[in-house]
């Protein structure tokens, strides 16, 4: 922690049990051999050792959640919303500390770490208002003196499986909505960012204790995919919200469906920006660079393909090269740097393999690709963002690589560009840069983008919490955050009330027992 004030940060987040075995870590285990080591990609140092959840621990957590649900669901939704409001206020108090921890443990820039915590605060605010609007619909019955309506009830236990790239925000997107809907949450975070989850759990636990509520409203389990499988296969967990790779999602989705559970899948993205001759190129470059190199290309919404009209291709390419030369890479806690490290050396290896495949398929790397070395990059996880000329049909272009690689592709007609945009297995985020009304409206029509998110003159990253977030095809079809995404955390019920003196039967059937 020496140069980053980590000791003070962890203390503020109540992660302060010092591990005597290291100079900078903390100990969250009881001398068990079954532990997670959290290494910072910023400098390669061991931050902490975290105990892996045992089967006995898991059963205790589940039983605690079941008991808590019976109490929590009986509390009126607006009062549940008030608890979420208090959680949001705690996040405001801890924003700098939690944002710093996100930056240090995950590797994203400090500003992005703060932004992630702000997303948590925003979804809490959204959920508080929503807690007074969990409405159904009233319909006219075809039978006289009958009233028919819909209402929503909580599901029960909600399992949340999150990924390393957004180690706190995605959990909050799910938990804030699940809580106001009356559910209790079990969180299985990425094994690559365990401290961030402990910090969040500590903050919510404080709110729960201060309001004399049962601890099972918010619970945490730690470990690798094996612990996630316990959640996935558990009939007592009614909904699994899983964020991660398409491979992971295909397994989770199948297992949950097999037991007739519900799932929200937020999986891979292979996002493109179409750049037309009518684009504002200054805006285009800003949006493309931010989308491609932000979080070192480790967002599901990262821009991976730039589909550029042939008439402006060379201009855009040269502007991008000039912009990439200005990118500052280094310690993400230094606000002067734009790009931090990849999450670990495995991600660096995937980066190198992707670049080799680009060249093997006939592509051309026109900028970047170096693995950075030296005292400032001693973790071995810092890479130089890449610009590569390629074809949309390349196998590597069809695949999502979690790294800062931007493929430049040419098109001649807008219909061709849209077809290229859609001709990948994933369908998360998309954008078009144009000041031409016809082009933008075509892109947004049913002839246009097949993604869950389609933007005009905005990049592929930076979704607002007010809109439902998610994508189609191999992205999984799930929706989180805003709009009516809350309905996924509840079960729908149709009610019919007969206040007449007769019992009319369906289809006019007569069934007289007098």
Residues marked active site are found at 266, 300
Query: What is the distance between the alpha carbons of residues 70 and 83, in angstroms, rounded to a whole number?
Result: 17
Alpha helix locations (H) across 131-193?
169-180
What are the Cα distances from residue 254, in Å, to 210, 258, 264, 266? Answer: 40, 6, 12, 14
Query: What is the distance between the alpha carbons of residues 341 and 373, in angstroms, rounded to a whole number?
Result: 12
The candidate with the shortest Cα–Cα distance to 219, out of 189, 195, 243, is 189
Query: What is the distance between the alpha carbons of residues 64 and 78, in angstroms, rounded to a whole number?
Result: 23
Query: What is the distance between the alpha carbons of residues 466 and 123, in angstroms, rounded to a whole number?
Result: 8
Q: 36 - beta bridge partners?
A: 50
| 469 C-beta neighbours (distance < 10 Å), count | 24
Query: What is the distance between the alpha carbons of residues 331 and 336, in angstroms, rounded to a whole number?
Result: 9
What are the Cα distances from residue 65, in Å, to 54, 62, 150, 369, 389? Answer: 16, 5, 27, 47, 52
Query: What is the distance between the alpha carbons of residues 99 and 88, in angstroms, rounded to a whole number?
Result: 14
């Amino acid at each position: 922690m020496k140069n980053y004030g980590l000791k003070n940060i962890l203390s503020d987040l109540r992660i302060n049990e010092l591990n005597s075995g290291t100079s900078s870590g903390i100990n969250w285990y009881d001398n068990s051999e079954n532990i997670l080591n959290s290494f910072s990609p910023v400098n390669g140092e061991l931050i902490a050792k975290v105990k892996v959840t045992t089967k006995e621990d898991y059963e205790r957590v589940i039983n605690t959640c079941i008991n808590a649900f019976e109490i929590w669901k009986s509390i009126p939704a607006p009062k549940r919303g008030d608890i979420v409001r208090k959680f949001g206020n705690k996040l405001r108090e801890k924003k700098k500390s939690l944002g710093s921890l996100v930056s240090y443990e995950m590797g994203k820039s400090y500003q992005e770490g703060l932004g992630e915590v702000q997303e948590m605060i925003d979804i809490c605010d959204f959920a508080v208002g929503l807690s007074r609007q969990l409405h159904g619909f009233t319909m006219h019955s075809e039978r006289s003196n009958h009233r028919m309506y819909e209402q929503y009830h909580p599901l029960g236990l909600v399992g949340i499986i999150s990924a390393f790239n957004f180690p706190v925000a995605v959990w909050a997107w799910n938990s804030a909505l699940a809580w106001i809907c009356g559910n209790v949450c079990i969180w299985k975070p990425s094994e690559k960012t365990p401290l961030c989850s402990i910090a969040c759990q500590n903050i919510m636990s404080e709110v729960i204790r201060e309001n004399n509520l049962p601890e099972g409203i918010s619970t945490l389990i730690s470990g690798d995919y094996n612990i996630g499988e316990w959640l996935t296969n558990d009939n007592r967990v009614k909904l699994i919200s899983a964020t991660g790779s398409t491979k992971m999602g295909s397994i989770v989705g199948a297992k949950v469906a097999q037991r007739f559970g519900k799932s929200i899948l937020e999986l891979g993205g292979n996002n493109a920006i179409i750049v037309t001759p009518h684009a504002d190129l200054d805006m285009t470059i800003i949006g493309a660079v931010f989308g491609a190199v932000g979080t070192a290309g480790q967002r599901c919404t990262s821009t991976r393909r730039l589909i550029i009209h042939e008439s402006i291709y060379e201009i855009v390419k040269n502007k991008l090269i000039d912009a990439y030369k200005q990118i500052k890479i280094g310690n993400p806690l230094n606000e002067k740097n734009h790009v931090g490290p990849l999450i670990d050396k495995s991600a660096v290896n995937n980066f190198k393999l992707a670049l080799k495949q680009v060249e093997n398929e006939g592509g051309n790397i026109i900028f970047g690709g170096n693995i950075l070395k030296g005292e400032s990059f001693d973790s071995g996880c810092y890479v130089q963002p890449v610009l590569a000329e390629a074809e949309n049909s390349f196998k590597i272009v069809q695949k999502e690589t979690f790294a800062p690689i931007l493929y430049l592709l040419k098109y001649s007609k807008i219909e061709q560009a849209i077809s290229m945009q859609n001709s990948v297995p994933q369908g998360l985020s998309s954008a078009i840069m144009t000041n031409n009304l016809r082009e933008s409206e075509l892109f947004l029509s049913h002839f246009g983008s097949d993604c869950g998110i389609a933007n005009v003159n905005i990049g592929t990253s930076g979704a607002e919490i007010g809109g439902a977030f998610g994508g189609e095809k191999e992205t999984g079809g799930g929706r989180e955050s805003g709009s009516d995404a809350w309905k996924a955390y509840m079960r729908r019920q149709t009610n019919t009330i007969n206040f007449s003196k007769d019992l009319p039967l369906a289809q006019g059937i007569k069934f007289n027992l007098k």
